[in-house]
Amino acid sequence: MAKLTVKDVDLKGKKVLVRVDFNVPLKDGVITNDNRISAALPTIKYIIEQGGRAVLFSHLGRVKEEADKEGKSLAPVAKDLAAKLGQDVVFPGVTRGAELEEAINALEDGQVLLVENTRFEDVDGKKESKNDAELGQYWASLGDGIFVNDAFGTAHRAHASNVGISANVEKAVAGFLLENEIAYIQEAVETPERPFIAILGGSKVSDKIGVIENLLEKADKVLIGGGMTYTFLKAQGIEIGNSLVEEDKLDIAKELLEKADGKLILPVDSKEANAFADYTEVRDTDGEAVSEGFLGLDIGPKSIAKFEEALEGAKTVVWNGPMGVFENPDFQAGTIGVMDAIVKQPGVKSIIGGGDSAAAAINLGRADKFSWISTGGGASMELLEGKVLPGLDALTEK
């Protein structure tokens, strides 16, 4: 990576501004999944071990008006982080003002402070989300000229807490998590060890048109599963019953199939049910067609075998999007089958592009079998599409 990293700067005695991604799920004020907090620990620990004073920024959820602040405070995160670090985390509970400034200025080497939810600034004119110049300057003024971006999950957005701060400091550098995300995902796509197989699932073709186009140029094969399967099948005149379909994307699906020249591999059967919920019948289809009155909710056993064959000998695999409605045990066999086929390839570099795929790997007990699981669904999608991420682009060149 041609950007400076946290190891390239002197941190001792400095108030170091750090963008982390603590956008964790909360239920009744309790964190239900703290993976994102754990993922930020290496960078935070490195800063404080080097004698830096870490000032952390993160958003939590979406905040458009005052009422949206309810239940969105980072107070539970500060408590969880303190337990993980084994030391106090200062939490003034504000995003600006004298109280915050005094707390930051009172920090000693090796201490940590967490600023309140950056999205609270969106209540008054979307200042955070629209990269308000004054807000970026103000937050940058709270530190000593060093900004560490370790929030891959928001790197595809130009916000005041990443791009805004970067523009107003002497050095903006990548943290360990951001550095690893780029190394695994971007390098896998740009300089893969071959065979390079991409697997794309999820519900909509429209969400992944750019990704499919880019990966058809870069990968040796692109396997398609999930709900978007049925738009591709209908585009070929195959009956899909009541399955999910994007009628306005049928022409694009046809074009992608023609452009693929055999690289695009589709399922050859489905697990179908007579309703999405409260169904009374679940069965495997004989072939690609879905029965009238039924809808496809997972790839079938023949497709699992076909995908397993396509993955044989793969050295690089990037997977984004489940093969079916994996949250339901009746429709998770496809996702499990593909995951197992990926990780059993000898010496494979296996990367999950965040979002539902990451949740599937974690929930189905296979997370530790993959080389890398991304913390950013949207950001990883844009990297797979070949786009420049504003949060990364704003960092200081080496």
Domain that holds residue 328: 192-384
Which CATH number goes with the domain that contains 230?
A: 3.40.50.1260
Q: Are residues 169 and 271 in the same domain?
A: no
Whether residue 155 lies inside any domain: the answer is yes
Q: Are residues 84 and 221 in the same domain?
A: no
pLDDT of residue 340: 97
pLDDT of residue 354: 78
Report d(CA 374, CA 352) in Å as an integer: 6
- Catalytic site residue 97? no
* Catalytic member of 241, 355, 376, 377: 355
Say which amino acid occupies 107: L
Q: Are residues 242 and 379 in the same domain?
A: yes
What would the two tokens of residue 235 be?
């585009």
- Catalytic site residue 204? yes
Q: Are residues 265 and 142 in the same domain?
A: no
Which regions in the chain score pLDDT beneath 70?
1
- Catalytic site residue 36? yes
Contacts of 215 (CB under 8 A, 6+ apart): 189, 198, 200, 222, 318, 384
Q: Are residues 104 and 249 in the same domain?
A: no
Query: How many structural domains is the chain composed of?
Result: 2
Cα–Cα–Cα angle for 382, 127, 144, nearest 5°? 85
Q: Are residues 227 and 142 in the same domain?
A: no
Q: Are residues 198 and 333 in the same domain?
A: yes
Q: Are residues 124 and 228 in the same domain?
A: no
Other C-beta atoms lying within 10 Å of the C-beta of residue 125: 11
Q: Are the CB atoms for 15 and 142 separated by under 8 Å?
A: yes
* Catalytic member of 204, 218, 254, 302: 204
- Catalytic site residue 366? no
Verify cis geometry, omega within 30 degrees of 0, for the bond prior to 329.
no
Annotated binding site for ATP: 208, 296, 327, 354-357
Whether residue 392 lies inside any domain: the answer is no
Q: Are residues 207 and 343 in the same domain?
A: yes
Q: Are residues 238 and 344 in the same domain?
A: yes
- E-strand ranges in the chain read 15-19, 26-27, 30-31, 53-57, 89-90, 112-114, 146-149, 171-174, 196-200, 221-224, 264-265, 270-273, 282-284, 295-299, 316-320, 349-352, 372-373
| Beta bridge pairs of residue 290 | 240
- CA-CA distances (angstroms) from residue 34 to 23, 81, 356? 9, 9, 16
What would the two tokens of residue 51 be?
């004698």
Show which of 126, 158, 179 is a domain's final residue: 179
Residue tagged 């995951």 (tokens): 339
pLDDT tens, 244-256?
A: 999 999 999 999 9
pTM above 0.85, yes or no: yes
* Catalytic member of 36, 53, 221, 249: 36
